[in-house]
Structure 1
Amino acid sequence: MTAFDYWSITQGALATISLSLASIVLGVPLGLALALIRWARVPGLNGIVYSYVSIVRSCPTVTLTLLIFFALPQFGISLDPVPAAIVALTVSTSAFNCEIWRSALVEFPRDQYDAALSFAMPRATRMRRIVLPQVWRASLPGLVNEMTLQIKSTPAVAVIGIVEITRAALRVGSNTYEPLPPFIFALVLYGLIVFVLIRLQRMIEVRLRHGGIA
Structure 2
Amino acid sequence: MNEFDWGTVWYAIPYMLMGTWVTLEICLLSILFGTLVGVVCGLLSLSGVRPVQWLVRAYVYFVRGTPALVQVFLIYFALPQVGIYISAFWCGVIALSFNAGAFIAEIVRASVESIDAGQTEAAMAIGMTHRQSLLHILLPQSLRRMTPPLTNELITLVKGSSLLSVISITELTRSGQVIIAERFTPFEIYMVLAVFYLVLISILSRLSEYVEKRLA
Output the CA distance in 1 between the equivalents of 2:65 and 2:129. Answer: 38
1:56 aligns with 2:63: yes
Q: Is the 8 A contact 1:148 1:194 kept in 2?
A: yes
Q: How does 1:18-57 map to 2 (within 5 A)?
A: 18-57=25-64
TM-score w.r.t. length of structure 1: 0.91
Counterpart code for 2:24? I
Residue ranges of structure 1 left out of the alignment (5+ in a row)? 210-214
Change (3 A) 1:34 1:109: same
Residue ranges of structure 2 left out of the alignment (5+ in a row)? 1-7
Output the CA distance in 2 between the equivalents of 1:143 and 1:187. Answer: 23
SS at match of 2:209: helix
Aligned to 1:104: 111
Provide the aligned C-alpha RMSD in A: 1.6
Aligned to 1:7: 14
1:141 aligns with 2:141: no
1:157 aligns with 2:169: no
1:190 aligns with 2:193: no
1:201 aligns with 2:208: yes
Output the CA distance in 2 between the equivalents of 1:188 and 1:9. Answer: 11
Identity among equivalent positions (%) equals 29
Aligned to 1:212: none
1:178 aligns with 2:185: yes
Change (3 A) 1:39 1:124: closer
Deviation at 1:32, TM superposition (A): 1.6
4+ runs of 1 displaced by more than 4 Å?
122-125
TM-score w.r.t. length of structure 2: 0.90
Counterpart code for 1:49? V
